[in-house]
C-alpha cells in the first residue's frame, strides 16, 4: 500500500553512530518523526521513559506480543525490543515521515509489512573505529562490548538486504548522505504529485 508518508528504517551495529545521525536529521527536518520502541532493557544514563524507549517489564512485553501490538519485535543483546503498529501506521497515513532505529531483523520484518519502507544500513569505517567508539561511549562493560562486537559481525553481514548503505566515517558526510536519501524519496513521482497537486493539475499531468 502506498502511504502519503515515508517510512525510513535505519539499522547499524551499536557504535556505528546511528542514534546521533538520526537525532541530527530530526533536528534539521521536523517532518521526520521518531517511532519510540518498547524494550525490556533498563534505562541507561539520562534515558527517559517515552523518549528513547518505553521501558517495560517482561510481563508487559509478553502482553503486547499476545495482543499483536507489535509490527515486529526481536531479541537483541539478550533483551527484547519491539515497534508498535500504532507508532507507525497512524502517522504515515497522515503524511508524516517516520524513522525507525531498529536492528536488522526488525528492519527486514518491517519491509515485509511495509513494502515501500526505505531500509538504510549504517556501517562504521573499520573494526578498530567501531571498537574505540564503543569504548569511548563508556556505557557498557568490557563483556558487553565484546558481545556487541560479535553481534556486529552478524549484523553487518545483512547489509546487502538493505536499499542504501552509509559509511559513517565523517559525521557531516554521513548526515549529508542520510538527508539525500530522505530528500530523494520526497521527489518521487507519487510524492511530488501529492505535495504539488496544483502544479500537476495546471500542467495536466495525471
Residue 14 in marked binding region: yes
| C-beta atoms surrounding 23 within 10 Å | 12
Q: Least distance to ligand 5GP from the beta carbon of 35, Å?
A: 8
C-alpha cell at 6: 515515508
For ligand 5GP, which is the closer residue by CB, 148 or 182? 148
For ligand 5GP, which is the closer residue by CB, 96 or 102? 102
Binding mask 93-112 for ligand 5GP (x = CB under 6 A): --------xxx-xx------
By the 8 A CB rule, do 87 and 102 touch? no
By the 8 A CB rule, do 70 and 53 touch? no
Choices 1-9, 80-88, 172-180, 184-192; region in contact with ligand 5GP by CB under 6 A: 80-88
Q: Is 89 in the site for ligand 5GP (CB under 6 A)?
A: no
C-alpha cell at 11: 539499522
Q: Is 82 in the site for ligand 5GP (CB under 6 A)?
A: yes
Q: Which residue is nearest to ligand 5GP (CB)?
A: 106
- Among residues 5, 21, 37, 111, the one that binds ligand 5GP under rule CB under 6 A: 37
DSSP code of residue 4: S
Q: Is 72 in the site for ligand 5GP (CB under 6 A)?
A: yes
Give the full edge-to-edge strand order of the sheet including 53-55. 53-55, 37-39, 79-84, 70-76
**Pick from 68, 62, 108, 113: which is nearest to 92 by CA?**
113
For ligand 5GP, which is the closer residue by CB, 66 or 202? 66
Whole-angstrom CA distances from 74 to 79, 80, 94, 202 are 8, 6, 27, 48
**3-state class (DSSP) for residue 99:** strand
Q: Is 40 in the site for ligand 5GP (CB under 6 A)?
A: no
For ligand 5GP, which is the closer residue by CB, 144 or 191? 144
Residues binding ligand 5GP (CB under 6 A): 14, 37, 41, 72, 74, 76-77, 81-83, 101-103, 105-106
Amino acid at each position: 500500500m502506498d502511504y502519503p508518508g515515508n517510512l525510513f528504517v535505519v539499522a547499524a551495529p551499536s557504535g556505528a553512530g546511528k542514534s546521533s545521525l538520526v537525532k541530527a536529521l530530526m533536528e534539521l527536518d521536523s517532518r521526520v518523526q521518531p517511532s519510540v520502541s518498547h524494550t525490556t532493557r533498563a534505562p541507561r544514563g539520562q534515558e527517559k521513559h517515552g523518549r528513547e524507549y518505553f521501558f517495560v517489564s517482561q510481563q508487559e512485553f509478553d502482553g503486547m506480543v499476545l495482543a499483536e501490538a507489535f509490527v515486529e519485535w526481536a531479541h537483541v543483546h539478550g533483551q527484547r525490543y519491539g515497534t508498535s503498529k500504532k507508532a507507525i501506521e497512524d502517522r504515515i497515513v497522515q503524511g508524516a515521515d517516520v524513522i525507525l532505529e531498529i536492528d536488522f531483523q526488525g528492519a527486514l520484518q518491517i519491509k515485509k509489512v511495509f513494502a515501500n519502507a526505505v531500509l538504510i544500513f549504517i556501517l562504521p569505517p573499520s573494526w578498530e573505529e567501531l571498537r574505540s567508539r564503543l569504548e569511548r561511549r563508556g556505557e557498557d562493560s568490557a563483556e558487553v562490548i565484546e558481545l556487541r562486537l560479535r553481534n556486529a559481525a552478524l549484523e553487518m553481514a545483512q547489509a546487502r538486504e538493505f536499499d542504501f548503505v552509509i559509511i559513517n566515517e565523517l559525521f557531516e558526510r554521513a548526515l549529508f548522505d542520510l538527508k539525500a536519501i530522505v530528500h530523494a524519496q520526497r521527489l518521487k513521482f507519487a510524492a511530488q504529485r501529492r505535495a504539488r497537486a496544483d502544479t500537476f493539475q495546471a500542467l495536466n499531468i495525471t
